[in-house]
Amino acid sequence: MNIALPKGRLGEKAYDILEQIGFGCPSIREQNRRLVFENEENQVRYFWVKPSDVAVYVERGAADVGIVGKDILLEQSADVYELLDLGIGKCRMAVAGRKGTRLDTERTLRVATKFTNIARAYFASQSREIEIIKLHGSIEIAPVLYMSDVIVDIVETGTTLKENDLEVLEEIVPISARLIANKASYQFNHGRIQKMMEEMAAAQKE
Ligand code: PRP
């Protein structure tokens, strides 16, 4: 079973759960620059990938399953099965702006974001005209410098917004990590993937 994990804290948490339910691979704990780790005994192979690439590996079948944030799934609309909400990596997608911002519905709203599809879909559902300013990180700077009216971004603790005198103006959707599967792998390895899903769900409740 090939498992794509997102590099970083979320991926490490997800691996802890997988280890707990019998998909351990001790070499993954070694501090080195390797990207692929295998445990023949448990018949698993893990690889660390950029969080925004997990669904690509799964969709193309290089990974049978993967762990990915719902934000990325919504943004990319990958053709994969979403099997389980892992209840970790919880945050929310929100519209935020400078404190006290009133959204003028008469004017085209300038929206800075890296989640362009989520932003377009959200404002289209409200029939609001927007102009997207695509950024790749530190999105919060855009409204501070008046380059945009608002941002669409992830809010976890709210600290980044607070420390930049910004606030949540509208909530879009709650986000958390999901277990996803390649569609063909899910048919061929149904028993094993189903078991993984059930045990991950049970581990969550403990
Ligand atoms: C994310 C997000 C916010 C921040 C929110 O950024 O884009 O900037 O975390 O977290 P908080 O509410 O707990 O402050 P990330 O650190 O992933 O970096 P980025 O700026 O490259 O998106």
Q: Read off the pLDDT of residues 144-169 as tens digits, 9 standing for 90 and up.
A: 999 999 999 999 999 999 999 999 99
Question: From the CA of 137, how far away is ligand 1's center (Å)?
Answer: 8
Residue-level pLDDT at 119: 98
What pLDDT is recorded for position 202? Answer: 95
137 C-beta closer than 6 A to ligand 1: yes
- Pocket probe for ligand 1: among 75, 114, 157, 160, the residue whose CB has the most ligand atoms within 8 Å is 160
Q: Running along the chain, 206 residues long, what does each successive block of 10 average in pLDDT?
A: 96 96 92 90 94 98 98 97 97 97 88 98 96 97 98 98 97 98 97 96 86
CA of 32 to the centre of ligand 1 (A): 26
What is the Cα–Cα distance from 184 to 106, expressed in whole angstroms?
48
| pLDDT over 90, % of the chain | 92
Q: Specify the ligand 1 atom closest to the Cα of 154.
A: 2
